[in-house]
Amino acid sequence: MLFDHTAQLGGGEIALIEMVAHFDRAKVTPIVLIASEGLLPERMRPIAETHVMPLDPEVVQARKDDLGSGVSAIVKQVSKSLFYIFRLARFIRENRIDLVHTNSLKADILGGVAAKLARRPLIWHVRDRIEDDYLPRPVVRIFRFLARVLPDFIIGNSKATLATLHLDGRVPCEDVASGVDLSTFGPSESADTGTRDTFDIGIIGRLCEWKGQHIFLKAAAEICTEFPQARFKIIGAPLFGEEGYAEELRDLSRSLFIEKVVDFMGFRPDVRQLIPKLDLVVHASTTGEPLGQVILQGMAASKPVIATNGGGVPEIVEDGVTGILVPMGDINAMAKAMRTVLHSGKMAREMGQLGRRRVEIRYTIQSTTRSIEAIYARVMRQRTT
């Protein structure tokens, strides 16, 4: 059973869809359980048996900052979920689930306790950095403690993510990056600033402050006069009550006098078709990104990338080879990197080609699913010995 608490399509949920779609059905029969209706179950139903077991909306929608007041806030959320946990445990037993694989922080806790009640092995898939620059400190402490007592195995989407759990060898773990389906990224147009009428620079992801779209806009303002052919695409929408930040971004583009060259494209289900139309993919997170899935997608589409140097990003981007790494929050460094790419179509093409090759060797969805299938087999063997 693969369990996720949210039906919103964040990076972890998109990665879950890809993983389930590419499982070897001779080895794995995936049964997906989601705690609310929405885009995720809609996308899952054509590819796997999918169930929705509604969870109290207050628990589903609770934001990480809401838990920052301390242990009491966390206990309150868990107490509201006790009946749900018992229902989950019954679902696991009645559907003869062999192994529980949780895919989000809330799912880790709810599904983790349910798996223990049902006496089934549990794998946590951690896709968030467990640090107090990303989560409230009480949540960090409790989650690190639970990581040592609940799961039988932990999958991290990067070495950097696993390091934030401070496991100290107490729980078996492995880093498995969220791979890319290369078949969805065919040949793409090469960047050539000397012949193109426009040069499209895109940032992709949900609109929230730590994703750094404001840094992207400020860097754009520094270079748009020098490169009047540049157009800046902001692809994504607010997901978790962050509409205020989205409006701030629109106000910022107007105050910087660049609104005519900025396109707010909103949520797009066709991101994989949009990326090949870009000339440069930018990642601007202001705290360490656990992995950077859109960076891998940009590389898969043979695009040069500019990315902030934190979290798991340096594990996938070779600075100066497949892209350019810049310090987090550094507007001037990002603008300088943009200039570097815009000035050299040859360098942009070479970075894109080398990035594609790196994905082919290390980061395909096939290598991801084979690694996870091997982990399943390992956990089941340990359970029976």
Which tens digits make up the pLDDT trace of 90-139? Answer: 999 999 999 999 999 999 999 999 999 999 999 999 999 999 988 889 88
pTM of the model: 0.91
Residue 56: pLDDT band (50, 70, 90) is confident
pLDDT greater than 80 at residue 293 = yes
pLDDT the model gives residue 61: 74
pLDDT greater than 90 at residue 315 = yes
- Return the structure tokens found at 200: 């499209």
Nearest to 33 by CA among 130, 105, 100: 100
pLDDT greater than 50 at residue 193 = no
Assess contact for 287 and 133: CB atoms under 8 A: yes
Q: Which CATH class is domain 2-179+364-384?
A: alpha beta
What is the separation, in whole angstroms, between the first and last Cα of the chain? 22
- Return the structure tokens found at 348: 């942009």
Percentage of residues in the chain having pLDDT higher than 70: 93
**Strand pairing class (122-126; 153-156):** parallel
Per-residue pLDDT tens digits for 145-166: 999 999 999 999 999 999 999 9
CA distance 354 to 346: 12
- Return the structure tokens found at 370: 């084979």
The CATH number of the domain covering residues in 182-362: 3.40.50.2000
Residues of the chain with CATH 3.40.50.2000: 2-179+364-384, 182-362
pLDDT the model gives residue 191: 47
Q: Is pLDDT larger for residue 198 or for residue 218?
A: 218
